[in-house]
Structure formats: structure tokens, C-alpha cells
A and B are shown apart, each in its own frame.
Chain A
Amino acid sequence: GAGVSQSPRYKVAKRGQDVALRCDPISGHVSLFWYQQALGQGPEFLTYFQNEAQLDKSGLPSDRFFAERPEGSVSTLKIQRTQQEDSAVYLCASSFLRGNEQYFGPGTRLTVT
């Protein structure tokens, strides 16, 4: 079946611009996660949804980061007023339930210039 998809795959933004990153999870997966991965590091947790409810946003680095999943399926991660330190790969993962194995999408590589 179809895996997790993300778009765009690459995004270049000028500092100060807003960006929106999309994630389409595996059909039927209740849990959706966003991670940020810097070069040479493991993924770092940003936020978690169970259906449409955002149950944990403890990893969001600042109030410029906002995520939503209004219908419990597709999710969008929005970054306002991007800064150079936001440059990273943003990964989305989904699982049937929290605690189960997570499957990752291909990621969006964000470069802020």
C-alpha cells in the first residue's frame, strides 16, 4: 500500500518568509508525528497528533512553529518568519497507534537563505 508522503520534497525560503509543509500519512494510521533532523543527528521530536487532536507539542522550538491536522488525516507544519537555524529536514511519521512502530515519509529539506 501507499506509504507516508510529504510535499514539497525541497523548499528554499528567504529569511522571514512563511512556509507550509504537508504530510499525508498511511491510511488508517491514527497517530502522526513531526520530527526535525539536522545533518549528522537523529530525528528530534516536534509534535504528535492522535486523530485531529494535538496531544504533545513539547518539541516545537518556538511559537513560530505551528502544526495542525484538522480532519485527522493530512497534517501541515507551518513555520512563520523562517530563520536560518530552521534549515533542516522535516520528517513526518505515522503509526497505527502511539507506541507502535512508526513509518517515515521521504522528508522535506528546508533551506533558509
Chain B
Amino acid sequence: QKEVEQNSGPLSVPEGAIASLNCTYSDRGSQSFFWYRQYSGKSPELIMFIYSNGDKEDGRFTAQLNKASQYVSLLIRDSQPSDSATYLCAASGNTPLVFGKGTRLSVIA
């Protein structure tokens, strides 16, 4: 059973702080990793993808991948109340995209 595990939260951080979201995956064949943001009642919105070990930065977001540890993380710098949402981690290889259950982030003003 290929799984993606996330802490369900809620993760609460003050406005302006760094939010750190983590994810582990079970399938060593996974090659592509994605972070989606999902607001309540809305569909998932792609915010980051990463294919290679290391860090990938895009604006306030940094995705980190460590294939040896089967670990993916998302850092959100200067967190804003509008970042409050559920963040879904997903992994795929030669199998369909597998999602975690998501981590609920709450940014407190």
C-alpha cells in the first residue's frame, strides 16, 4: 500500500512567522512530489512541485526533498492569514498520484 503521511494539525503559527509542513512517503519509486493548498469548500491548488533532492524556492515558498529519508517539506515564510488552509502533499512515480490527508494550517493575526 503506497502511502503519504502528514500530520493533520492544526498547525498554528503567528502572522509573519515561518510555517513548516512535513510529509513522508512509503514508495521509494516515487519521483515527483507536489504541494497543493486547499481552502475550505474549494479544490486543490498547486503551489509547488519538486523532482530533485534539495531545495526549490518560489517566492515565500520553499519545497525540500530528501529521497534517502523519503521526506518532503514545505516552508512558508512571512506567513499571512490568507495562507490559512489545508496543505496536501502528493507523490507519484509509475503509479497514480497519492495524496496525504493534509495538514491544516492556521495563521493567527
Listed in ascending order, the chain A residues whose CB lies under 8 Å from chain B are: 33, 40-45, 48, 56, 58-59, 89, 91, 99-107
Contact = CB atoms under 8 A, between A and B. Distances in A.
Contacts of A42: 4, 88, 90, 99-102
23 contacts: A33-B96, A33-B97, A40-B101, A42-B4, A42-B99, A42-B101, A43-B99, A45-B97, A45-B98, A56-B96, A58-B96, A89-B43, A91-B44, A101-B34, A101-B46, A102-B97, A103-B46, A104-B36, A104-B43, A104-B44, A104-B46, A106-B43, A107-B43
Contacts of A59: 96
A51 B88 CA distance: 27
Counting contact residues on chain B (CB < 8 A from A), the size range is: 20 to 34
B60 interface: no
Contacts of B44: 43, 91, 104
Contact of A105 (B43, B46, B90, B99): B43
B45 A99 contact: no
Main secondary structure of the interface of B (DSSP, over half): strand
A99 B46 contact: no
B101 A99 contact: no
Main secondary structure of the interface of A (DSSP, over half): loop
Interface of B: 4, 31-32, 34, 36, 42-46, 49, 88, 90, 92, 96-102
